[in-house]
Every structure is written in C-alpha cells, then in structure tokens.
Homo-oligomer: A and B are copies of this chain.
Amino acid sequence: MSQCFTIALDAMGGDHGPAAVVPAALRALNRHSGLVHLILVGRPEMVREELHRHGGQECEALRIHSASQVVDMAELPSQALRGKKDSSMRVAVNLVKEGVADACVSAGNTGALVAMARYVLKTLPGIDRPAICTTIPCLGGCFHMLDLGGNVDCAAEQLFRFAVMGSVLARASGTDSPRIGLMNLGEEEIKGNGQVKRAAQLLQASTLNYIGYVEGDSAYKGVADVVVCDGFVGNVALKSSEGVAFVISRYLQEAFHKNLLSKLAGLIALPVLHSLRRRLDPRQYNGASLLGLRGVVVKSHGGADAVAFERAIDVGILEAEKAVPRLIDERLREIFSQEQLQT
C-alpha cells in the first residue's frame, strides 16, 4: 500500500456509536500510520469528547466531519432515506460519492445503509441491489458468502452475478482462482429449485472456478472460497450458525460452572478455553461488504465493539486499496454483453 486512502466512518452508528468507533479509528490509524486517513462523521461534540477520552486529537489523518442526525436502528429504510439527509450514515456515504473518501464504514441500520448507498452511489451496470458478502470462518480458513441481505427470490442470473462479485472480492483478499460453490440442499444435480439449477448451468459454462453445489455443512468444512445463495437463504444460514455457536458456548460455560469440581477444571482449562474463544471470536470476521455499488461500503455488525469495528475498517481499507468496485465492474463487462447488463 503506497497510496494513502481515506475512509469515512459513521461515528454514530451501531449500538455503541462513538464509544466503539473512535477507539477503533485510533487503533487502525496507529497500525496503518501514514497510509490511511480517517474521517469521523457525526455530532462533533460527542465525537470530540470520545476522542479526548482516548487521548486522541484531530489532525490531518483524523478529521471530524459534522452530521447532525442519527439513523435509528429500527428506522424504516425509506424513512431514513427521506428524513435523515444530514445523518452520520448518509454524510459518510456522500463523502464517498464526492470522492472525498475512498470507502465508508457503518455499524448502523443495515436496510438504511443499503438504501442510502444504492441511492447515493448507484449500483454497477447489471446490478439492481447490492449483495451483502461476509467472511465466515471454517476448517482451514474462511470463505466468503453472499448474498446475506435483501436480495430475496433471486433469479439464476442474479446468483451468477453474485458469484462473479464474490470471486473478485475473494481474489482481492488474496485467494487465486477462488473456488465458487452454489448453496443447495444436496450435492446431486437433480436437487434444488429452478433458479439454483439454472445458475449452476450458467456457472458451469463460465470461466469462473465453479466447483458445484455445496451444502451447509460442507461449506463449514472449507470446500469453497465463495458460497453463493439468495439473500433469504444466506441470512437464515448465517443467523442459524450464530445461534448454534451461542448455544454451544452457553452450554460450555454452564458445564464448567456446574459444581466446585467442574469450576476447578474450568480454572485449569482457562488458558485453553481462552485460546478457543480467540479462535472463534466473531469480532475478527466483522465487516460485510456491500458489493455491486459504485463505491466501497462496509457494514459492521451493529453490536460491534472497538476491536470488531477496527476489523470492519480494515475491510474498507482493503477494498479501497484493491479498487474492488472497479474490478467488479470490469469483470461484469468481461463476462456479460452490454445488452445483458442493461436488463
């Protein structure tokens, strides 16, 4: 990274607002010293107070950009789009549009972020709504999964475009010739719904490294670098996975707190349990990409703390550095004709 990239941060978004975003920004700046500039977008007095609390101060590399409103976590996207034109989220997205920032990161309301990003930045030719793509840990590493968001009832062509976009992101993240899997309820060719079967045909005929259908369990065994599905399926799969992980960790805690003996065993096993927790820490995978936009927009988990938000900033830096939107645009134009991209 030789160039300097500027990332706009929605300082007010998420459950913790500036309390998570500001320390995350300071840590990220420290790590990427001289190579990254950050803009904290939000209510100046609140952001400044938080900044001082952490011993930081405004400088060229860390500016505060005023925004008077905050998008509520439960607000309807359409309302936020109409009524929150001076919100920290909207202003952060605007900064990308204006070329002041190379990416923006927000932990705020997902629907509102998608709506604002789509309205302000516009989507690339051939993409109607951005797809949400996140990194998920699995045996031997991690994989990218998309869509996890609002693209429900996807046509085969959409699923194919998700594969193209996911492939670009995986490559930008360091995987040569990413293996693309199509999420299905079985690995046999006869299984699945019409859209998935047709998407499989499109993928097979393409130059992508398509490896076939993958099932929920094999995805976690690391068979693919990119797993493609419609937003409904992806969202349910991801949240179910979170649910299971939550139940297991709760059971683990309970097991080590049952009686004096198990508490003692837990005490002795503490370093091991800590290393396990670090390895499974969802914070290190925070930062979902909104792919298919004419600009880099990263969605942090709403409950992200500073450690997690810092990871989302890193995702924004990576995508800005690699110019992921441009790469996706080029790849889509390579694969599809002008006509196909207009439909």
A residues near B, CB below 8 A?
Answer: 74, 76, 137-139, 149, 152-153, 183, 185-186, 188, 190, 192-194, 196, 215-221, 229, 231-233, 235-248, 250-252, 255-256, 258, 261-262, 264-266, 268-269, 271-273, 275-276, 279-280
Would B153 and A194 count as touching, CB distance under 8 A? yes
Using A152-B192, A190-B76 as known contacts, say yes or no to A216 and B239 having CB atoms under 8 A apart.
yes
Contacts of A269 in B (CB 8 A): 256, 265-266, 268-269, 272
Distance (whole angstroms) from the CB of A311 to the closest CB of chain B: 19
Known interface pairs A255-B279, A272-B255; A241-B241 also in contact (CB < 8 Å):
yes
Complex alpha-carbon distance, A188 and B256, angstroms: 37
Q: Do residues A240 and B219 form an inter-chain contact, with CB atoms below 8 A? A: yes
Q: Contact check: which of B149, B188, B271 meets A265 at CB < 8 Å?
A: B271
Q: Which of B218, B236, B258 contacts A229 (CB 8 A)?
A: B236
Q: Are A193 and B236 in contact (CB under 8 A)?
A: no
* Set of chain B residues within 8 Å of A271, measured between Cβ atoms: 261-262, 265
Alpha-carbon gap, A106 to B42, bound state (A): 61
On whether the beta carbons of B232 and A220 are closer than 8 Å, the reply is no
Whether A243 contacts B221 by the Cβ 8 Å rule is yes
Chain B residues with CB under 8 Å of A246's CB are 217, 220-221
Cβ-defined contact, B137 with A247, below 8 A: yes
B217 x A240 contact (CB < 8 A): yes
A220, B243: Cβ atoms closer than 8 Å:
yes
14 further A-B pairs in the complex, CB-CB below 8 A; given A232-B233, A233-B236, A240-B241: A139-B250, A185-B232, A196-B232, A216-B239, A217-B246, A219-B243, A221-B247, A241-B241, A248-B280, A255-B273, A262-B271, A265-B272, A266-B272, A268-B269
**Minimum C-beta distance from A266 to chain B (A):** 7
Report the minimal beta-carbon distance from A171 to chain B, rounded to whole angstroms.
24
In this complex, the member of A149, A265, A272 whose beta carbon has the largest number of chain B beta carbons within 10 angstroms is A272
Residues of B within 8 A of A268 (CB): 264-265, 268-269
Q: Are A217 and B232 in contact (CB under 8 A)?
A: no
